[in-house]
Structure 1
Amino acid sequence: MFGLNVAGLAVLLAASMLTGAGRIGTGQVVDYLLGAAGDAHLEMVVTTIRLPRTLAALAVGAALGVSGMLLQAVTRNPLAETGLLGVNSGAALGVVLGIVYAGAQTGGAYLAWALGGALLTTGVVLLIGARFSPLKLVLAGAALSATLTGITSALLVADPVTFDRYRFWVLGSLAGIPMDRVLAVSPAILAGLVMAAFAARPLAALSLGDDVAVALGHRPGRTRAAVTVAVTLLSAAAVAVAGPIGFLGLLAGYLARTVLGNRVGSRIVLSGLAGATVLLGADVLARVVMRPYEAPVSLLVAVIGGPVLIAVARSRSVSAGAGDLLADKAARGGRRIRVLPAGDRLRPRPSDTFPVRLGACSALVPVRSCLAAVALALLACAAVLAAILAGQSAMTAGQALDALRGIGTGGQVMLVQEIRLPRIVAGLVAGAALGLSGCLTQALARNRLATPDMLGVNQGAVIAIMISGLLSSAATLFEHWWTGPLGALVAAVAVFAISGGIGTQGYRFIVTGLAVTTLGGAVTQAVLAWNGLSAATAIHSWSVGSLAGRGYPVALPVAAGLAVLLPAALAVSRRLAVLRFSEDIGTVLGTSPRVTRPAVLALAVVLAGLAIGIGGPVAFVALAAPVLAARLSGSVRLPLVGAPLVGAALVVAADTIGRVVTSGAEVPAGVVTSILGGPFLLWTLLSDRRP
């Protein structure tokens, strides 16, 4: 296998030097490389353009391949990879901080700032890695990535010049990399590779367990520290050269593990060769697949890496590492269905309800749920009031309230009634739709993390709306809101079909959704790079979730959808509540899972697609809203009323924070929820007892 990989790498090296978008022939390049004289243009193309990017592909590919393999070995997790676990996002945040606050321009400066971000993120990953199963660790990495990416986006919003540079760099392109940047990071890559070689034997012992490693004379703590430094050096150097390229470490580690099994030393070598081969091959393909333009390397790697991630998540090794869900719940004292004594069976009504009778009609009204709904409605009203009063204008709170009633100067009345109030209404309906959608998908999958943004549904809607906008002459993307539900439906069908059906339990289908989301994110970044700065800025603001410029016409379709879909969700709530136990119990009680599950999924997907059509993918609202509502109303009943209220309050509050947190610039609501939602997702993972 080593010989085959080396031979393939040699072929790709030749192809990289001979391939380009220009009109220079292969013979001219060969003659020049063999010592023949050439003109200045030929010399520039070969020595200034093709040679540096070829060496960069080798160095970056080897670094990411080895770093991914090291993470997989030290965490004993075949899904560990610097891109998936947030290490690349930490390094990218470090580079952006360096550009914004220190004016970093050179490869050495990029490396220094990337090292800081990568070191911090790697330490967090290894700290939490021991507490999570393989699938949950990937989701924890997604939480870290979301927070770090949110902070990066907040910095870019206030600095258009840095954003213009960032949107090309974040693609992971190898085009135009100068030789001095490659040389500047070479010592860090060499140091990381040397440390990886010395860590081979300790890692092999550590794979047998800490006790065995100690008995063999190794120190697990020192080994993990050495791996942390090595991964930091390799990933930071790679990001500093070519930007964050995801999936490459997963691909290289998967190939090395499949071929060589548990031989750690040989896997380190093969993962480096495989990473270099894959990246160099993707770079060559990027130059020819869209001539005369160049495709993003990260997108091509993601096209290959996404299916590999799904395959690894479905593999027996990951399933075995996660354990059987039902057995784990039984062993840990998970929720069980308790058979009530005869006396309890005769109790006429649940203890938290009271009967309401109107003539011949009667109903049991849940006390706690009603009180929670009232409290959450007051919370939403408080968020609306704060949004009306808050802003960067010199208007006082009293003047804002007067302007709401039409009293005051024309500018004040216009600001409140025509700018703030319409976007508040848009935020309310978008947040309510996301909250209800998240509640339905969580109940459908019996998993608090099964939300539209974690399942790839939001990204499907984003791609559909973005493509529709680019193909038309409409001034704004949200005019194509109607394509959001279509794209969301396609993504949902794809995710559940790949992962094994709507009734799939555990985290496997969420990791599948993460793969779809990552691939869609790469497409979005490519679109940002292919458009002009003004168009890219508008698309970026919408693609992270923003209510800027939204008004009543945009909110109307979502409000109409809620008016129809919320009663439909309440109508199927009893059947859905039964399915939360098991499909067998649902069938016995007369609820058909084959009918109920697709119907509920369609409701959730349409709601998410409509919400994204207004404000873009406001992250984590669909996750947090049902969880917070259930905390207040209790876990016995689905919070189908409370979740929309919490979602509405969260979106309006996030939009308000984004408007006032920085002076002279507006941080999109989706960026605010990403920064705050990452820690919430980590807390949800830590409190969830399933594997």
Structure 2
Amino acid sequence: MFTQLRHPPLVFGLGTAGLVALLATSMLTGAGRISPEQVVDYLLGATGDAHLEMVVTTLRLPRTLAAIVVGAALGVSGMLLQAVTRNPLAETGLLGVNSGAALGVVLGIVWTGAQTGGAYLAWALGGALLTTGVVLLIGSRFSSLKLILAGAALSATLTGITSALLVADPGTFDQYRFWVLGSLAGIPMDRVLAVAPAILAGLVMAALAARPLAALSLGDDVAVALGHRPGRTRVAVTVAVTLLSAAAVAVAGPIGFLGLLAGHLAKTVPGDRVGPRIVLSGLAGAIVLLGADVLARVVMRPYEAPVSLLIAIVGGPVLIAVARSRAVAAGAGDLFAEKTRRGRGSRALLARDRFRPRPSDTFPVRLGACSALVPVRSSLAAAALAALACAAGLAAILAGQSAMTAGQALEALRGIGTGGQIMLVQEIRLPRVVAGLAAGAALGLSGCLTQALARNRLATPDMLGVNQGAVIAIMSAGLLSSTATLFEHWWTGPLGALVAAVAVFAISGGTGTQGYRFIVTGLAVTTLAGAVTQSALAWNGLSAATAIHSWSVGSLAGRGYPVALPVAVGLAVLLPAALAVSRRLAVLRFSEDVGVGLGTNPRTTRSAVLALAVVLAGLAIGIGGPIAFVALAAPVLAARLSGSARLPLVGAPLTGAALVVAADTVGRVIASGGEIPAGVVTSILGGPFLLWTLLSDRRS
């Protein structure tokens, strides 16, 4: 990624000089109208203005020191994770460590009213320690690219729990929406001093772990032969990463990509000397964060840009570049890549399969001169899933927190009962259920198409950045409008999803050819779009931000027939189209030559399938927002029932409909006096499902 420099002392010298220059720039620069000359006069004692004293001593000095301390902590923690997992993509933000620390802080705010830096640190330590332990536990089980996806699963679950707490407590959300941006503005000096001992302890432990990490990079057996204990080394690194990341999150909030950037900048030092790289990673982290903070003050004067957004703009492309590098590809362990290498003999495989006897899974149906072969297992699975979706819809209509019983709700559905009961069932619950069924079916079908398109079970709209593209488009249209609600701009969803899909596919080099690198590219786009969404939450008033947040995590509250109708019409048109291209889509499992030999145009087929999947995802998000993991789980579960011989183009939408309605029902009844959005429920449950999918891919 980065060119190695032959003179390490020159690197350290230049880095130190750059940090000093940025320190001076940070003290002299701000979003206000105070000139650098006035600041210099104050520092030299030429003036004693009280306003200058407040700006320089109370505001700029603490945030400058905080940027240096937090940047160094995140840089070193990223370098330690990359070394101990032997994964160039490892970073506290991407692996969910920051999300664990953030959840700890939110729990502290909700349960104990934590406000001080010491309280933030204590709660962040607990969340970061638990998450770091899980990351290192699963680190040896996954390849470089899969570990990032495992981190995304862990982060999704932790973020889902955080969102559930925030939805139930508007006061905590108001405090959280600014803190989560990673802003350094307004940080008091006592908070920096409170976390200084933890950061110092983490840096000392990192220095002591330098030699054992260097030995560990050669393998556990070699490390033991050299007199080191790999288990003890991993425990020490766990404690160091926990201290550093928790302290950084307690001061400035969860800032992603910084450890990734610092760790790769540290690789400019030649050789495998871990000690110099640890020092350089801390220096690089401080430089990057302080530079981003200075830029944040001047790029939108008199306002400030979010620091995390600026770092994500740089870190996203770096993540994509590293994921595409030879070092990552060499150790990817990508099942798809292995299949591709073996797929050079696809013609022989296809010819051999023609003469292999298989049990019949179809029975003929004749109607006059017309006949068709109906798949037995797929038909039975579709019937069972249709019954399940109907049962989920009926349960959603009958369940709720009102005093009305299930029997009364069933009578109200038939138009029998009081006016209030009939209105609740027929005008509130029933339209919401119909909207959930339509959104879930669209997400399930969209996920089935993208998985088949990329030949990877993890290639779903929410993992490829498609959902976030639709979110930004709808959110932007809603914010620019003064009267309409967000879901009334459903028509912008497919447009935003299409733009995101084109960007991801163009960057990754096409569909079906990049394996897990293709998904990591989408993950980078998703993370960057998420930073944009969080910035929009902070830039709006509390009432608008609360509404946007509830929708941006996936919610069916207030949905009805008007928003469900476009998705229903889209399904009525696009599902037959998907069935029409299903046979051509099945041919894409083989190589390009085999597809052409069988009379299909792979490029045209991929374009048509991509268009279908993007439109479906955009329409679904227009109804309920980005309800996570439904597009991943629905095709996988449907395929388990219907078998892997055929794409579950009917079973997947039925499964998705059942999942969304069930998640919405759970969110409505589980919290007394409140409601948890359906997307939060699916995020909490979807993270473990994604981990299971990764493990099952590994076993296969």
TM-score by length of 2: 0.96
State the 1:466 CA deviation: 0.7
Match of 2:148 in 1: 138
Instruction: Give the counterpart letter for 2:582 in structure 1.
Output: S
Separation of aligned partners in 1, 2:212 and 2:352: 61
Q: 1:550 aligns with which of 556, 559, 566?
A: 559
SS at match of 2:372: strand
1:211-237 CA deviation, whole Å, 9 max, x = no partner? 110111100000000000000000000
Q: Pick from 634, 638, 655: which aligns with 2:664? A: 655
Aligned to 1:624: 633
Indicate the residue corresponding to 1:187 in structure 2.
197
Q: Distance in 2 between matches of 1:428 and 1:506?
A: 31
Give me the whole-angstrom Cα distance separating, in 2, the residues matched to 1:259 and 1:490.
39
- The 8 Å contact of residues 75 and 126 in structure 1, kept in 2 or not, is answered as yes
Say whether 1:468 aligns with 2:477.
yes
Superposition pairs of residues 436-585 of structure 1, within 5 angstroms: 436-585=445-594
Write out aligned runs for 1:602-681 (5 A): 602-681=611-690
Q: Give the secondary-structure state (helix, strand or coil) at the position aligned to 1:381.
A: helix
- Deviation digits for residues 42-80 of structure 1 (CA, Å, limit 9, x no counterpart): 111111000000000000000000000000000000000
Q: Which residue of 2 aligns with 1:165?
A: 175
Alpha-carbon distance between aligned partners in 2 of 1:68 and 1:473, rounded to the nearest angstrom: 43
- Kindly state the Cα deviation for residue 503 of structure 1 after the two structures are TM-superposed: 2.8
The offset of 1:257, in angstroms, is 1.5
1:226 pairs with 2:236: yes
Q: For residues 326 and 455 of structure 1, what CA distance do their matches in structure 2 show?
A: 17
Alignment of structure 1 residues 588-603 onto 2, 5 Å = 588-603=597-612
Map 1:315-326 onto structure 2 (within 5 A).
315-323=325-333, 325=335
Q: Is the 8 A contact 2:638 2:655 kept in 1?
A: yes
Deviation at 1:154, TM superposition (A): 0.2
Structure 1 residues 412 and 304: CA distance shift in structure 2, 3 A: same
Q: CA deviation at 1:263?
A: 1.7
Distance 1:350 1:599 in 2: 32
Q: Quote how far apart the aligned CAs of 1:33 are.
A: 1.4
| 2:159 is equivalent to residue 149 of structure 1 | yes
2:698 is matched with 689
- Separation in 2, partners of 1:100, 1:604: 40
How far apart are residue 583 of structure 1 and its match?
A: 2.2
Q: Contact conserved, 1:487 with 1:609, CA < 8 A, in 2?
A: yes
Specify the SS of the correspondent of 1:507. helix
Matches of 2:347 and 2:171, distance apart in 1: 59
Q: CA deviation at 1:594?
A: 1.1
Q: Give a deviation string over 1:75-116, Cα, whole Å, max 9, x none.
A: 000000000000000000000000000111100000000000
CA displacement at 1:587 relative to structure 2: 1.4
Change (3 A) 1:327 1:690: farther
Q: Secondary structure at the match of 2:331?
A: helix
SS in 2 for 1:172: coil
What is the identity, as a one-letter code, of the residue corresponding to 2:43? L
* Residue of structure 1 equivalent to 2:274: 264
Distance, in Å, in 2 between the alignment partners of 1:643 and 1:263 is 51
State the alpha-carbon separation in 2 of the partners of residues 55 and 136 from structure 1.
Answer: 36
Q: Could you tell me how far apart the structure 2 residues matched to 1:335 and 1:189 are?
A: 55
Residue type at the aligned position of 1:121: T
Residue 6 of structure 2 aligns with which residue? none
Q: 1:342 to 1:63 in 2, by over 3 A?
A: closer
Equivalent of 1:92, from 93, 102, 113?
A: 102
User: For each residue in 1:292-339, what CA deviation from the matched residue of structure 2 results, as whole angstroms up to 9, or x when unmatched?
Assistant: 111000000000100000000000000001147567459999998885
Paired residues of 1:328 and 1:690 also in contact (CA < 8 A): no
| Match of residue 77 from structure 1 | 87
Q: For the residues of structure 1 that align with 2:340 and 2:54, how far apart are their CA atoms? A: 67
CA–CA distance in structure 2, aligned partners of residues 189 and 68 of structure 1: 14
Q: Judging changes above 3 Å, is the alpha-carbon distance between structure 1 residues 101 and 326 closer, same or farther for their aligned structure 2 residues?
A: closer
Whole-angstrom distance in 2 between the partners of 1:141 and 1:292: 37
Q: Check the 8 A contact 2:336/2:456 in 1, yes or no.
A: no
State the secondary structure of the residue aligned to 2:456: coil
8 A contact 2:346–2:591 mirrored in 1? no
> Contact between 2:344 and 2:591, CA under 8 Å: does it hold in 1?
no
CA distance in 2, matches of 1:259, 1:144: 32
Name the residue aligned to 1:68: 78
Q: Secondary structure at the match of 2:698?
A: coil
SS of the counterpart of 2:646?
Answer: coil
Letter of the 2:32 counterpart: G
- CA drift of 1:474 comes to 3.2
- On the 8 A contact 1:260/1:267 being kept in 2, the answer is no
Q: Displacement, 1:37?
A: 3.6
Which residue number in structure 2 is paired with residue 241 of structure 1? 251
CA contact (8 A) 1:441 1:601 kept: yes
Partner of 1:353: 362
1:192-224 deviation line (CA, Å, top 9, x unaligned): 000000100000000000011011110000000
Paired AA for residue 627 in structure 1: V
Matched to 2:613, the amino acid is A
1:364 is paired with a residue of what secondary structure?
strand
Unaligned runs of 5+ in 2: 1-10
| Residue identity matched to 2:581 | V
- Report the alpha carbon displacement of residue 645 of structure 1 after superposing the two structures with TM: 0.1
Distance 2:493 2:354 in 1: 48
What letter corresponds to residue 610 of structure 1 in structure 2?
A: L
Give the conservation status (yes or no) of the 8 Å contact 1:547–1:614. yes
Q: Confirm whether residue 414 of structure 1 aligns to residue 429 of structure 2.
A: no
In structure 2, how many angstroms separate the alpha carbons of the residues matched to 1:447 and 1:413? 46
Q: Which residue of 1 aligns with 2:224?
A: 214
The secondary structure found in structure 2 opposite 1:363 is strand
- Does residue 290 (structure 1) correspond to residue 290 (structure 2)? The answer is no
Amino acid corresponding to residue 130 of structure 2 in structure 1: L
- AA partner of residue 298 (structure 2): V
Tell whether the 8 Å contact from 1:20 to 1:287 is kept in structure 2 after alignment: yes
Cα distance change, pair 391–334 in 1 and its aligned pair in 2 (3 A): farther
Equivalent residue for 2:38? 28
Deviation by residue 1:10-62 (Cα, 9 ceiling, x = unmatched)? 11101100111222221111122123341211111111000000000000000
Q: For residue 617 of structure 2, what is the amino acid of its counterpart?
A: A
RMSD: 1.9
Paired with 2:465 and 2:511, the residues of 1 have a C-alpha distance of 14
- Distance in 1 between residues matched to 2:574 and 2:563, nearest whole Å: 18
CA shift at 1:260, angstroms? 3.4
Q: How many residue pairs align between the two structures?
A: 690
Provide the residue aligned with 1:8 in structure 2: 18
The residue type equivalent to 2:144 in the other structure is P
Q: 1:18 to 1:214 in 2, by over 3 A?
A: same
CA displacement 1:545-579 (0-9 Å, x = unmatched): 00000010000101111010000000000000111
Q: What amino acid sits opposite 2:136 in the alignment?
A: L
CA distance in 1: counterparts of 2:515 and 2:527, whole angstroms: 20
Q: Summarize deviations over 1:404-444 as a string: whole Å, max 9, x none.
A: 01111111000000000001000000000000000000000
